[in-house]
Amino acid sequence: MVIQILFLVIFFALMIFIGFYYRRKAASVEGFVLGGRSAGPWLTAFAFGTSYFSAVIFVGYAGQFGWNFGLASTWIGLGNAFIGSLLPWVVLGRRTRIMTNHLGSKTMPEFFEKRYDSKALKLISAIIVFVFLIPYTASLYNGLSRLFSMAFPGVDYTVCIVIMSLLTCVYVLVGGYMATAMNDFIQGIFMVGGIVAVIIAALGQNGGFTSSVEKLATAESGGWQYVSFFGPDPTFLIFVVLLTSLGTWGLPQMVGKFYAIKDEDSIKKGTVISTVFAVIVAGGCYFLGGFSRLFATVDPASGKPAMDGSVVSYDRLVPGMLENLGPVLIGIVLVLVLSASMSTLSSLVLTSGSTVTLDLIIPLRRKQTGEKGKMLIMRILIVFFVLLSALIAIYQVNAKSGSSVTFIANLMGVSWGALAGAFIGPFLWGLYFKKTSRAAVYVSFAVGVGMSLLQLVKSLVGFDFGVKFLDGVMFKTSLHSGVFAMCFSLVLVPLVSLFTKKQSDSRVEEIFSCYKRTVTVKATDVLKLEDDEEK
């Protein structure tokens, strides 16, 4: 246990040092929330990637979908890399940075207010963020419980939650966005190195890649379909790829990274860096999970994985693959998963705290709040969000099966779909389509949140819609309803906009004028452009 503790002490000390190093950057609201819009390509790309991939993916999703799809689960990681990382940078990155700076918006709700001239939209979207980010934040702790019990047998997992919460709180409260971004960069390096080392070591337990694939193809391990190109259930695989990839286009903690990037050159570089990072981390996680059947057997009664003579949850699969790797690699894995969790946690609580402060509390206050007052409220709320999510996680770990914690677990499952389903259409079309209407945004909010709540009701009480398409396709799982919610948002926003009242032409032209702004370049740059044209 000494090696694991040493790894953690060094890791935590580094995080705290960075938090205090960047405290001067967090002296103002814009500095605290966006780092003064001065983050370079490496910091922004790693902040995007580490906010995207948490312990939920490494432990939960990699185990569950690796078991269900075999090696085809690697498509999920590649979808995350190209649909969830590359395309958002290409489609949203530049236009988001330019328009949010032009409008002076620091959060997604504030963008909706200033883009569509509606304070009501800001308040409603802030409430949606508040309601659905808390359970999502609490879910980050779940993936740690299995790994923590493996690395530190006999130690109460609550200790891990408390330590992780306190340390995240410290560096976010002290250093704000820049401390979070720098820590994300360092944590991202741990994640890249860790996943490569773990894959090599895990496959080595079965004689390497070729031998592992041959064993996975045997009937005892599941059969040839688990090494096939699209796995045993290609349709469900597509839904998983779409939800986990397309969702990043509408999540406030993800697109918020584009608000803070320094310049256009940083966006171009960040696009490449973020995509490569996602290919290694997400692709590696799901690729590793695809071999989970070699480390567990199928329980004939339930069809679920079984270890040590008993049926286990999917969250137990990846830790089970790693428990014989030795103390050094287990220490690396522990730091890897802590990195993934803390980076996502810091991004979520910073997003939650700034959104609720700037878009909900301050607008509802009668008296004017100064810069120091806003900073104080924001920091108090960050502590509140970290504390609340930690309490939910502790309660969930300690609750007995069949308790009311089921509600929390289901709410975590629909939070991603609710946020992305509500926001993806209004945000994307708001950047590109001048005729996007305020009514279309309301429709998207209603559809995204409404479908997620219906899914929650169906999951909790087994509600039957009585329609095959709804019960068997659209609301089959939270993955299905989430994908449909996002697709509806993307289609309904432009469609409803065609038949509803538009903003005034003068106001729209003023908003989109930021894309037509004339800039002055050095003579050397002009000459270079002329030379290129002649060639």
pLDDT above 70 for 233: yes
Residue 103's pLDDT is 92
Does residue 30 fall inside a structural domain? no
- CA torsion angle for 303, 141, 144, 248 (degrees, to 10)? 70
Among 354, 377, 397, which residue terminates a domain? 397
| Residue 362 burial class via C-beta count within 10 angstroms: exposed 0-12, middle 13-18, buried 19 and up | middle
Q: What is the Cα–Cα distance from 129 to 357, expressed in whole angstroms?
A: 12
Strands of the 310-311 sheet, one edge to the other: 297-298, 305-307, 310-311
**Is 165 domain-assigned?**
yes
* 156 has pLDDT over 60: yes
* Residue 205 within a domain: yes
The whole-number pLDDT of residue 407 equals 53
My answer on whether 230 and 322 are in the same domain is: yes
241 vs 364, higher pLDDT = 241
Same domain for 392 and 415, yes or no, is no
How far is Cα 187 from Cα 189, in angstroms, rounded to an integer?
A: 5
CATH of the domain at 109: 1.20.1730.10
What pLDDT shows up at residue 110?
92
Highest mean pLDDT among 32-46, 327-341, 400-414 belongs to: 32-46
Q: For 271-286, what is the HEC assignment?
A: HHHHHHHHHHHHHHHH
422 and 389 in a single domain? The answer is no
Q: For residue 433, give every residue at least 6 positions away whose Cβ sits within 8 Å of its Cβ, in sequence order, or none.
A: 493, 494, 497
With respect to residue 293, please indicate whether it lies within any of the assigned structural domains.
Answer: yes
For residues 382 and 426, state if they share a domain.
Answer: no
Query: Is residue 75 scored above 70 in pLDDT?
Result: yes
Cα(457)–Cα(476) distance, integer angstroms: 12
d(CA 253, CA 258): 10
Q: Indicate if 505 and 417 belong to the same structural domain.
A: yes
Report the pLDDT averaged over residues 100-120: 92
**Residue numbers of the domain that contains 535:** 399-535
Among candidate residues 340, 369, 397, the one where a domain is terminated: 397
Q: Which of 33-42, 98-107, 465-474 has the highest mean pLDDT?
A: 98-107
Last residue of a domain, one of 397, 417, 451: 397
> Residue 212 — very low, low, confident or very high, per pLDDT cuts 50/70/90?
confident
Same-domain check for residues 354 and 286: yes
Residue 441: name the closest of 115, 202, 173, 134 by CA.
Answer: 115
Does 233 map to a domain?
A: yes
Domain assignment present for residue 393? The answer is yes
Is position 133 within any domain?
Answer: yes
For 358-415, the three-class secondary structure string (H helix, E strand, C coil) is: HHHHHHHCCCCCCHHHHHHHHHHHHHHHHHHHHHHHHHHHHCCCCCCHHHHHHHHHHH
Residue type, 5: I
Q: Residue 518: is its pLDDT beyond 80?
A: no
Least confident of 19-23, 181-185, 332-336: 332-336
pLDDT tens track for 344-393: 788 888 888 888 888 888 887 777 878 888 888 888 988 888 888 888 77
Give mean pLDDT, residues 266-274. Answer: 92
Query: What is the C-alpha to C-alpha distance for residues 311 and 334, in angstroms, rounded to an integer?
Result: 24
Q: Is residue 449 part of a domain?
A: yes
This prediction has a pTM of 0.85
Total number of domains constituting the chain: 2
Segment 468-479 mean pLDDT? 82
Mean pLDDT, all residues of the chain: 83
Q: State whether 382 and 411 are in the same domain.
A: no
Q: What is the DSSP letter of 228?
A: S
pLDDT of amino acid 410: 58
Report the pLDDT averaged over residues 497-505. 92
What share of the chain has pLDDT > 70, as a percent? 89
From CA 160, how far away is CA 45, in angstroms rounded?
28
Select from 119, 181, 182 the least CA-distant residue to 358. Answer: 119
Q: How far is CA 454 from the centre of its chain?
A: 23
Residue 266 pLDDT > 80: yes
125 and 154 inside one domain? yes
Structure tokens at 238: 């597509």
Same domain, 354 and 417: no
Residue 36 has pLDDT above 60, yes or no: yes
